[in-house]
Amino acid sequence: MSAPFSEAGADMKVLIADESAGGRLDAWLTAALGDEFSRSRIQALVKQGMVRINGEAVSEPKAKIRPGDEVRVVLPEPEDPEPKGEDIPLQVLYEDDDVIVIMKPAGLVVHPGAGNWTGTLVNALIHHCGDTLSGIGGVKRPGIVHRLDKETSGVMVVAKNDIAHRHLAAQFADHGRTGPLERAYMALVWGRPRQLKGTIDAPLGRSSARTKRAVKSIESGDAREAITHFEVVERFGEQADGTAIASMVECRLETGRTHQIRVHMAHIGNPLIGDPEYGTAFKTKVNRLSDGTKAVVGGFHRQALHAFLLQFEHPASGRVMRFEAPLPDDMAQLLSALRNEKRAAK
């Protein structure tokens, strides 16, 4: 017998089937819910009585779905598997009994989540550190006090015990306003910011797309303060009117929101080169480049963002520790190609 349909204590989603809907309910729901739930999980929810079509309970995953149907789904919190250690190479910059500082490569997810339950930095850390990681971050995030996007490279610090975790977390929450914490990124962006040095103060919230962020009014229910300081370090393909094809920009965070630098730079008209979510409108800019540079830029398929500097106070000794990491090979090659463009423009 199916369990009773209940909305109490669970996340409820209401979906309206579009004109392309047709066929089995479980297949359509799996596609509609993206990577949140597997098809087998969806089938189990249907059999448990957690799905209704136009108000009627459904218990068969093969039930038909039609355009215009209203589908209500009760989505319980997903049961996260406990991450296991995996022998994934780590570039360790420093390690002691309290912290480990690593250089995260582009392409490595920081912690397990939907669609990425294995092959993450956490899996690598568990293998490398054993049981010494702080447990404050929970099962999915042991030792993690800050994060970088999957395709952003750069320096990260991880806590190896709970005392270190609390100390580091407080520093990151303060964002260096009253302490020694510093975080700096190097970005390669399209165009040239109107100001060579400035501050972007623009609140961020969820976009209409589930995984994206957008600049929103502070009055919006989910908007949170977001402040980025930037300075143009170098310009490429500079024109007589002062504009440029691209620029290298140093960014420093006063707040640490999801996708903050990527959204802020796009907001002022200078999205990151290669950004697949916030820079697609600028893809035609590549046509302004010489053939050699065009090939390198066209083959760069991630946001050109690297966390090159991290400074913090050691949680045990109180010593200020500073780590810098050079650009990874792919960004170094991109920078070299853009510099050739700079020479060609002269």
- Give the active site residues: 149
Interatomic CA distance for residues 269 and 249, integer angstroms: 13
Interatomic CA distance for residues 149 and 302, integer angstroms: 11
**55 φ/ψ sector (left φ>0, alpha ψ -120 to 50, else beta):** left
Task: Compute, in degrees rounded to 10, the torsion defined by CA atoms 314, 325, 97, 159.
Answer: 70
Q: What is the 3-state secondary structure (H, E, C) of 152-166?
A: CEEEEEEECCHHHHH
Query: Long-range contacts made by residues 38-42, C-beta under 8 angstroms, separation at least 24?
Result: 41/78
**255 and 280 Cβ atoms separated by less than 8 Å:** no
Residue 13 identity (one-letter amino acid): K
Q: What is the largest CA-CA distance in the chain?
A: 77
3-state secondary structure of 246: strand
Q: What is the 3-state secondary structure (H, E, C) of 114-150?
A: CCECCCCHHHHHHHHHHHHCCCCCCCCCCCECCCCCC
